[in-house]
Amino acid sequence: MTEPKRKKLSSQILATLGISLGAAVAAFDLLVFGAYALLDRVYDAQPISMSEDALISAQGWALNLSLLFSVGFFLTLFLVLLGNRLSYVRTITQGIDRLKAGQGDWVIPLRGNNELTTLAVTINAMNAARNAVREKEKALNEERETLIRTLSHDIRTPLTSVLSYSELLLSRQELDESARGQAALIREKAERIKELTDVLLDGGKRTPEEFPDARLLFLQLAMEFEEVLEGDFSVETDLSGLPPFAGGFDPGELRRVLDNLITNVQKYAHPDHPVTLRVEKTGEGIVITQENAVRRAEAKPESFQMGITSIRRVAHNYGGRAEIRKDEERFVISITLSEF
């Protein structure tokens, strides 16, 4: 079925102007004719003395009053007719406001057959397309969550065996210190993997805790950072800019941040240069800054993208951000935690 041809809004406005002007001219002619006829009758009847000059003056007044009334009638009629047509603009604006407010099921009613109607049709089509994209994204997210949960569950089965065997090895008295340390490391890493899979199974559920003095938590994390790296690197930690303060944090999230920083240092930092970790409290919140020199021959910054994604997700959970500055010689990451 062929869609009816749209009428131009400008043509409709000109037609409204013509109708209003024609009606005003007709009203002017009618008023002038009636006033002149009345004055002629009065002059002919001569119930009162009226000179010809007085008659001409009265006719002039009648003409001016008729013109004034006609102009007022024209403006009133034109604005009423134009307002009736352009009130649809307000309807479209209200529809856009509702769509911006998240009422995705709202549809702008169609009225008339001009450019405004075309605009309403286009907005409705864009909203329908946006709703379709959102539904598709929702379905894809649900599918991804199902896949993550399935894989996480499948990982936990062999992981449980690794934990059991590592406990069994640690219980054997004949192990020397080196083998016992390796078994302990296996158990530690397996527990870490289990913790991460638990996070996936929980859908990334956070468990923040309230700390009367959260500085102690960051001090402990900084000590762990230094303890892990101090065998291979010169580590400098600085918490002088972090006064005692209260806040709510998820220790597991913060440990994941530090673990990713540690992994990055171990893979890409130059061992002959110091690795620095600074934690301070600023007007934006808690700022964690880690800096190190880069081993040029082995540096592959793109390999750290998964860790960066994890860090940015944690920073986002605290209403903050993660910023990276890097070149061929230096790597600096600044993590801001604003809400806690």
- Contact by Cβ (8 Å): 75, 3: no
Architecture of the domain delimited by 209-337: 2-Layer Sandwich (3.30)
pLDDT score, position 77: 73
pLDDT score, position 80: 75
pLDDT digits (tens, 9 = 90+) for 230-264: 888 999 999 999 999 999 998 888 988 898 898 88
91-115 b/e with 16+ CB inside 10 Å = b?
ebeebbebbeeeeeeeebeeeeebe
Q: How many residues does the chain have?
A: 340
What token pair was written down for 141?
């997210």
Which residue from 304, 238, 244 is spatially nearest to 277, judged by alpha carbons? 238
pLDDT score, position 108: 79
pLDDT score, position 264: 86
pTM of the model: 0.47
pLDDT score, position 334: 94
SS3 of 40-92: the string is HHHHHHCCCCCCHHHHHHHHHHHHHHHHHHHHHHHHHHHHHHHHHHHHHHHHH
**Would you kindly state where each structural domain of the chain is located, as residue ranges?**
9-106, 132-201, 209-337
- Contact by Cβ (8 Å): 217, 252: no
- Contact by Cβ (8 Å): 278, 289: yes
| Distance from C-alpha of 246 to C-alpha of 285, rounded to nearest angstrom | 12
| Distance from C-alpha of 129 to C-alpha of 126, rounded to nearest angstrom | 5
- Quickly list DSSP for 265-298: HHHHB-TTS-EEEEEEEETTEEEEEEEEEB-TTT
Where are the extended beta strands (E) located within 66-126?
none
Residue with tokens 């998240």: 102
Output the CA angle 180-185-190, nearest 5 degrees.
125
pLDDT score, position 133: 85
- Contact by Cβ (8 Å): 303, 263: no
- Contact by Cβ (8 Å): 246, 286: no
pLDDT score, position 299: 43
Q: Residues of the chain whose pLDDT is less than 70?
A: 1-13, 16, 35-36, 39-55, 58-59, 82-87, 102-104, 153, 195, 198-206, 297-306
What token pair was written down for 274?
């110091």
pLDDT score, position 155: 77
- Contact by Cβ (8 Å): 206, 317: yes
pLDDT score, position 302: 45
Give the DSSP H/E element, type plus range, for residue 203.
none
pLDDT score, position 49: 56
| Distance from C-alpha of 62 to C-alpha of 32, rounded to nearest angstrom | 7
User: For the CA atoms of the chain, what is the radius of gyration?
Assistant: 40
